Structure 1
Amino acid sequence: MAESTGTGGVTNESSEANAPLDDAEMPLADHIEEMIKRLGVVLVAMALVSGVVFLVADDLINFIWYSLLPGSAQLCPDAPADVAACPRVYDPLGLILARLKVSTLAGFVVALPLFVYETYAFMRPGLYPRERRYYIAAVPTSLVLAVVGVGFAFLVVLPVIFTYFLSYSEAAANIAFGLTETFGLMTLLMGFFALVFQIPLFVMLAIMMGITTRAWLANKRLYFWGTFIGIAFLFSPDPTGMAPIIVAATMITLFEGTLLLLRWTGSD
């Protein structure tokens, strides 16, 4: 039965319907234990996907390598020294490490939406029904954005970077690509862009759940720009500066594009 107020008999039925239904106090130790278990689920799922992909890692390595560095896949096993696109292995574990990197990338992409879901499940008892709907919708959206991020890195960013590398190196030295270092750069940037493309999701989710507002984010944009630039240069393995510049520009574009979309639709 709805409870009446003392002034005009107005019921609180609507507010009760929107209240968190499962909110209850829990000891801090129980919260920490649950959080660790949910993170464990994400890590186990990532490890399982990585293990499955590891079985076909050689095919993925060849596909990624020869898509970004065109060369003759049939010639490369017995290639002469002037075939620059062929991968070189300079240590006994080079191929194993490349397999681990590509399989870990696949596991990471799958783990991103699972991480979003597990955070939702962790916070679900304290969320309002509207917030729960937003969070559930964010799970498939996270996977789509991760795949788009990997595709953007694979189709746009990495070809630009390797074209730049070749353009300033060809006149000064004979080029040979080491498998471990080169493939490490490829997989790191693809994984990084899978994470970077989550920015619109995080911004919109924070606004929809009332954590912040579009106006506040717009007023503090320079702080976010500085953070994006710092992260790009801190975690990029490219000493020439080309990769960090592209990463930082992409992060700022995604952030500003999300704010522009929210302003255009009138959502705050």
Structure 2
Amino acid sequence: MAFALRKRGPSNFERASDGSMTLIEHIRELRNRLFRASLAILVGFGFGIWLATPVRKLLSEPYCDLPQAQDPETGVCKFVQLGVADVFLLNLKIGLWVGLIIAAPIWLYQLWAFIAPGLHRHERRYAYVFTALAAPLFAAGAVLAFFVTTKGLEFLLNISGDDIATTLEVTRYISFVTNLILLFGVAFEFPLIVLMLNFVGLVSAKRLLGWWRIAVFVFFAFSAVVTPTPDPFGMTALAICLCALYFAAVGVAFLNDRRRGRGKEIYSDLADDEVSPLDLTPEPVEAGQRVDGVTPVDAPDPVAAPAPIERRYDDMT
């Protein structure tokens, strides 16, 4: 007995790509993807609450490893809690951040699955590459921020002197560390913006290389503002990393320009305010081909005169 195979219709991705999906179907798909992403974040938040205390202790290590932070009698690192529910609210905040990180593959996929049908194939390919590079760059910035925090706290606590007892408030300290990690991680995404401008054809690699002095100055100024301490160590570390990433992005831009053949166009070696040379060499004019005579057009056929109106209609019409 033969069974007929059921023919599958086009998927939601194909229908959204070719524009056959209606507005109500788009809204329904957005609702479903938001529900799945929210459910994944809720599950990740549950794991985040479970991991909140170990993560808080991990973030406290830059301060607790310093001799000034340890109690001389017990040797235990202690923080100050000003409010009754400060630590509880802090654990909720840490749990939410950890939950977002744990559920990131799911809610990022739901976001991408809703946006991807509206992009071209090469745009989706670039998005895959940029996403694959964004996560390691952010992680590298977070590690550098953790290292800079350790050196910065050591510098700041040594300034206070032995006559001043320093005890940090736990919520302000954790907010300080997490904000610094977020800021350094976002700063390390700057090379991706440079590559995006080059890949879409807005800026050439040669022009990016010509801006290196401005870029280095901006990186050092940005590092001087965002680093928590006035010592030159943290500022120099962040600025050097950003400069290295910028020149690496310029190198990739040169490879992309060579692959696409940019810079080989006519007049590409001329400046914007330079007049292009004109070729005034006269060229010989060749004799044109002979044009045949036009054949006469036949006279049109005569048009018959319309019949009287009484002959074109009967009694019924």
TM-score (structure 2 length as normaliser): 0.55
Partner of 1:131: 123
Partner of 1:177: 168
Written as runs of structure 1 = structure 2, the 5 A alignment for 1:1-268 is 22=17, 45-46=40-41, 48-70=43-65, 85-107=77-99, 109=101, 120-121=112-113, 123-154=115-146, 156-171=147-162, 173-219=164-210, 222=214, 226=218, 229=221, 233=225, 236=226, 238=228, 241=230, 245=235, 249=239, 252-253=242-243, 256-262=246-252, 266-268=255-257
User: Alpha-carbon deviations, 1:137-185, whole Å to 9, x = none?
Assistant: 333332222222222222x211121111122123452111221111211
Which ranges of structure 2 fall in alignment gaps of 5 or more residues? 1-15, 258-317
SS in 2 for 1:210: coil
SS in 2 for 1:22: helix
TM-score (structure 1 length as normaliser): 0.63
CA contact (8 A) 2:209 2:250 kept: no
Of 213-222 and 27-36, more deviation after overlay is shown by 27-36
Instruction: Indicate how the Cα distance of structure 1 residues 118 and 206 shifts in structure 2: closer, same or farther if over 3 A, else same.
Output: farther
Percent identity (aligned): 21
CA contact (8 A) 1:49 1:106 kept: yes
- The higher-RCO structure (CA 8 Å, 6+ apart) is 1
Instruction: Indicate how the Cα distance of structure 1 residues 172 and 121 shifts in structure 2: closer, same or farther if over 3 A, else same.
Output: farther
Of 116-125 and 48-57, more deviation after overlay is shown by 116-125
CA contact (8 A) 1:158 1:186 kept: yes
Of 80-89 and 179-188, more deviation after overlay is shown by 80-89
SS in 2 for 1:267: helix
Based on CA coordinates, which of the two structures has the bigger radius of gyration? 2
Counterpart CA distance in 1 for 2:27 and 2:237 is 34
Counterpart CA distance in 1 for 2:238 and 2:66 is 31
Instruction: Indicate how the Cα distance of structure 1 residues 80 and 164 shifts in structure 2: closer, same or farther if over 3 A, else same.
Output: closer
Q: How far did 1:195 drift?
A: 2.1
Instruction: Indicate how the Cα distance of structure 1 residues 255 and 144 shifts in structure 2: closer, same or farther if over 3 A, else same.
Output: closer
Q: How far did 1:125 drift?
A: 3.9
Structure 1 runs (4+) deviating above 6 angstroms are 25-44, 111-116
Which ranges of structure 1 fall in alignment gaps of 5 or more residues? 1-20
Instruction: Indicate how the Cα distance of structure 1 residues 106 and 195 shifts in structure 2: closer, same or farther if over 3 A, else same.
Output: farther
Counterpart CA distance in 2 for 1:210 and 1:42 is 34
Of 22-31 and 127-136, more deviation after overlay is shown by 22-31
SS in 1 for 2:176: helix
CA contact (8 A) 2:80 2:169 kept: yes
Counterpart CA distance in 2 for 1:87 and 1:107 is 25
Instruction: Indicate how the Cα distance of structure 1 residues 167 and 251 shifts in structure 2: closer, same or farther if over 3 A, else same.
Output: same
CA contact (8 A) 1:145 1:197 kept: yes
